[in-house]
């Protein structure tokens, strides 16, 4: 049996090991990249919903105007808006417009975007085609109460 002396380097061994491990490293890096993208998009959706709820809480914007604010936020953040869905709900008085909300009504804004619009890599291999990402915010209406036009003085003044 022939033995190789210990002083002879094994130059090809590292190349073979890298060739075997490189597909796993690539998949790991792509997965890390895609998860980072999902976290970024999720944070952007939550921020857009929060901004919409904050605007709705003023009582000065209608539901359609709040939806436009949210879609503008998404567009400026680089999120495609063609399939985005924005809903504005008054949880205290269901069906009421945000501009008609009374003070301290709970207003909820929900933003939904298909995963297929925001993914970067082949994540469809592990998710279904209908997967949706969403963000939601609930805010209390801070609509100012009307100041009385006539003020009566208390008795005795």
Q: Enumerate residues 6+ apart whose C-beta is below 8 A from 140.
A: 57, 104, 105, 106, 107
Calculate the average pLDDT of the chain.
Answer: 87
DSSP string, the chain: -----TTS--HHHHHHHHHHHHHHHHHHHHHHHHHHHHHHHHHHHHHHHHHHHHHHHTT-S-HHHHHHHHHHHHHHTT---TT-EEEEEESSSTT--GGGPPTT-EEEEEEEEEHHHH--S-GGGTS-TT-EEEEEEEEE--PPPPPPS--PPPTT-
pLDDT band at 114; cut points 50, 70, 90: very high
pLDDT given at position 15: 82
Least confident of 2-11, 24-33, 91-100, 129-138: 2-11
Q: Angle at CA 45, nearest 5°, toward 39 and 46? A: 90
pLDDT given at position 111: 97
Q: Is the dihedral of CA 6, 11, 17, 18 positive or negative?
A: positive
Please give the Cα distance from 135 to 50 (Å, whole number): 9
pLDDT band at 124; cut points 50, 70, 90: low
Place of tokens 């999720």: 42
pLDDT band at 91; cut points 50, 70, 90: very high
- Residue with the bigger pLDDT between 11 and 66: it is 66
Place of tokens 């130059």: 11
| Side-chain-facing half-sphere of 146: CA atoms under 13 Å | 5
């Amino acid at each position: 049996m022939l033995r190789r002396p210990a002083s002879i380097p094994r130059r090809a061994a590292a190349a073979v090991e890298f060739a075997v491990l490189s597909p796993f490293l690539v998949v790991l890096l792509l997965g890390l990249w895609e998860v980072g993208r999902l976290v970024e998009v999720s944070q952007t959706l939550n921020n857009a919903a929060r901004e919409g709820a904050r605007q709705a809480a003023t009582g000065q914007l209608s539901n359609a105007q709040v939806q436009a604010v949210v879609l503008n936020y998404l567009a400026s953040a680089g999120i495609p808006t063609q399939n985005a869905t924005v809903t504005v709900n008054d949880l205290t008085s269901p069906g009421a417009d945000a501009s008609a909300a009374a003070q301290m009504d709970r207003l909820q804004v929900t933003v939904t975007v298909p995963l297929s619009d925001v993914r970067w890599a082949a994540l469809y291999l592990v998710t279904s085609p209908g997967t949706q990402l969403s963000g939601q915010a609930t805010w209390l209406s801070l609509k100012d109460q009307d100041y009385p036009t006539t003020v009566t003085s208390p008795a005795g003044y």
